Structure 1
């Protein structure tokens, strides 16, 4: 009997309020950007059909409210995620400093089988603001943080101009797919630490 193919890939976007999570999702799915800021209440999601190696998938992208009062959205929200996207605003140091908190929050709530190898992707958004003159988080600093967390793929994006948004989500989809396939191969109730498969250090060959 052939293995069951789950065509739904669940992606969760986390980060402080106002870093552009909703705008990135809308730019990728709908190719639209709005200057009107509207805080997400709780959580919302959009879906996009993608094709990879002759297979069709539905990428289900969950957008979360960054306000602290919504941070504990419940285990059900995080569970089953195939990839987690961490977003910061390159013009706001606090949003970058909080990436670690968001990453830890996700690992606690989602409880992935192997936290060491679960796929994350980091986006440094709003690189277009003030022609890049108001940025306070350098690309070097962001990449160093990603490297220290197991070589997480990193992209600098502009949801407003669409810069690197498509490329970033292609990498996110590939990582989500890799995670989903590994879950499919191994029995969920089998734990074999000694023969853990070797992971690619880059996380994504984009």
Structure 2
């Protein structure tokens, strides 16, 4: 859980172009949500990160996506479902992931612990941003 904002920089290369992403980790407890929505102004895209072992984080992502769209309009985003290394503990079913994909959302499964899918998430988001 983040209180306030944590800012990082990520440099990636796409089609021989160097892209610098500025990452703002802004999610925290619900009491901070209204204030943090103002941090989203000017965003070119975002990642909604969900914990595969906690179903409620998927529901929070759905709610957050609506709030973000209300705040900044439609910009590219990726739903990232983390903890791929322990899928046997997931509370999120494959059918639910298929439903989200059917709605047109891009879903990437990751393991931050092992680095699986993380680079793919950034690359995919950057491509979506460049295609806008």
| TM beyond 0.5 | yes
Instruction: Return the structure number with greater helix share.
Output: 2
Cross-structure match for 1:156: 109
Q: Which one of 123, 126, 131 corresponds to residue 80 of structure 2?
A: 123
Aligned pair 1:139/2:100, yes or no? no
RMSD: 1.7
Task: After superposition, give the CA deviation of every residue in 1:11-70 in whole Å (9 maximum; x if it has no partner).
Answer: xxxxxxxxxxxxxxxxxxxxxxxxxxxx32211111122222333221111111331111
Residues 43, 63 of structure 1: 8 Å contact kept: yes
Any idea what SS the aligned residue of 1:160 has? coil
Instruction: Return the structure number with greater strand share.
Output: 2
Deviates more, 1:158-167 or 1:46-55: 46-55
Q: TM-score, normalised by structure 2?
A: 0.88
Any idea what SS the aligned residue of 1:46 has? strand
Query: 1:127 & 1:135 partners in 2: Cα distance?
Result: 9
Cross-structure match for 2:63: 101
Equivalenced residue count is: 132
Runs in 1 of length 4+ with deviation above 6 angstroms? none
Between structure 1 and structure 2, the one with the greater Rg is: 1
Please list every run of 5 or more consecutive structure 1 residues that lacks an aligned counterpart in the other structure. 1-38, 180-206
Residues 26, 36 of structure 2: 8 Å contact kept: no
Cross-structure match for 1:19: none
Give 1:80 deviation, angstroms.
1.1
Q: TM-score, normalised by structure 1?
A: 0.59
